[in-house]
Amino acid sequence: MLTIQKFVYLLEDFHYNEFCKQLESVSAALPLKLIKEIRKKLPEFDTHEGLCTKIYGSFKEKQNFNQLSSYTFKLSYLVCHNYPNYLHHNIPLIEKMVNDGKIKEANFRADCLLDIAGNVEDFQALVFVLKFKTQQAYLVRDATT
For the full predicted model, state whether its pTM sits above 0.85.
yes
pLDDT tens digits along 32-43 = 999 999 999 888
Q: Measuring CA to CA, how many Å separate 110 from each of 22, 34, 89, 100?
A: 27, 23, 12, 15
pLDDT tens digits along 3-52 = 999 999 999 999 999 999 999 999 999 999 999 999 998 888 888 888 88
Q: 17 and 39 in contact (C-beta within 8 Å)?
A: no
